[in-house]
Amino acid sequence: MAGKRTRATIKDVARRAGVSPTTVSHAFSGNGTVAPGTADRVREAARELGYRPDTVARGLRSSRLGVLGLVVRPLDPQDTAFLEGVDYFLRFAGSAALAAVERGYGLMLVPDPTRADAPAVGLACDGFLITEPVENDPLITMLTRECVPFLGVGRDPARPASPDYLDLGTRRIVTDVLDHLAEAGGSRVAAVLGTDRNEWNLDAETAYLAWVRARGQEPLAVRRAEVAGEAGGREAGEELFGLASPPDAVYCQTGRHAAGVLAAARAKGLAVPGDVRIACGSDSDSEQTRLSVPPITSVDLRPVRLARVAVEVLVDRVEGIEQSPAPGPAEYELMVRGSTRG
């Protein structure tokens, strides 16, 4: 079932319809103007031949392929951790794909095109969505140099804010969650933070430090790699609850961390909520937070909506629509659950 090129070309259609290739081109692209009758003949001929314009050839001229690249960080293709963030990521990717389709684009998952082993096609995308750029993201450097449109979902923490990044509003979110923990009765709030160098982590840290200091306390933060997951959270929890004066509330950066902290608290015989309140700054739809016992208060970052907005902005950029108004901070919703609510 190999088969050489069987598809009809624009010339075949032109010949059959008794017109020039240009006319066929016009008829299909809707550019120029074609007499209705002629257009019909062209369409008819094309149908008979099973002709469809070749996207690649078209892209060569118009330097627009119709493909958006989605780059997910962290990005090591070896690292199956890629699959760990499934809940949030799938919703994001799925929604982005749909939104892209609605704008006439395909959405391709690509590994970091700056890596040597990246498939060449990665570079062919008309624009890129980069979720959670890392500090001084090399991909952003490259895209900027080559004038390829992109949109960061989250800031590059080392670069100035700009319309090139969607603002996740991390500090505001984290502060809200911390306030909620305090309202729920937490008087000493610890934090379990991640280690990736992205907006989400770096801003969360900043926000936590500021919040704690504003209350005249010393920060009590531990860090665990995102990929350490529930086990990492459990470790962190054991560390925190083993202290001489343990926290009575814990803010966690990921749902998996939170689930681990919860497990550690329960293992230690601590009531949740009661002795300890736990909340998570992300990923409210994850199994870990939603279906744990008790369920863990967390934040719905609206990945479906976020992806849609991101695609809209990116497509506008790709199509050269002038500065689509940079949307404000992403919407979110605090999902208060049993882990902080008597």
Partner DNA sequence: CTGAAAGCGCTAACAG
Partner DNA sequence: CTGTTAGCGCTTTCAG
Binding site for its own copies (CB under 8 A): 1-7, 50, 52-60, 63, 65-67, 69, 77, 80, 82-83, 86-87, 89-91, 93-95, 97-98, 100-102, 104-111, 118-124, 144-147, 149, 164, 287, 290-291, 304, 317, 320
Q: Which is nearer to DNA, 18 or 329 (CB)?
A: 18
The rounded Cα 147 to chain-centroid distance in angstroms is 22
Which partner, DNA, its own copies, none, binds residue 149 by CB below 5 to 8 Å per kind? its own copies
Question: Residue with structure tokens 């939170």?
Answer: 258
Nearest approach in angstroms of CB 8 to DNA is: 8
- Beta strand pairing status for 189-193 and 221-223? parallel
d(CA 236, CA 240): 6
Q: Which is nearer to its own copies, 1 or 214 (CB)?
A: 1
Residue 150's identity, in one-letter code, is F
Nearest approach in angstroms of CB 319 to DNA is: 13
Which partner, DNA, its own copies, none, binds residue 50 by CB below 5 to 8 Å per kind? its own copies
Q: What is the contact mask toward DNA in residues 195 to 214, using x (rule: CB under 7 A)? A: --------------------
Q: Which is nearer to its own copies, 121 or 231 (CB)?
A: 121
Which partner, DNA, its own copies, none, binds residue 10 by CB below 5 to 8 Å per kind? DNA
- Beta strand pairing status for 333-335 and 298-300? antiparallel
Rounded (10°) CA dihedral 262, 265, 271, 276: -80
- If one counts every other C-beta atom within 10 angstroms of the C-beta of residue 113, the result is 21
Category of 269 on φ-ψ map: left (φ > 0), alpha (ψ -120 to 50) or beta: left
Nearest approach in angstroms of CB 162 to its own copies is: 9
| Positions 8 through 37 that interact with DNA (CB under 7 A) | 9-11, 18-23, 25-26, 28-29, 31-35, 37
Residue 326's identity, in one-letter code, is A
d(CA 265, CA 254): 17
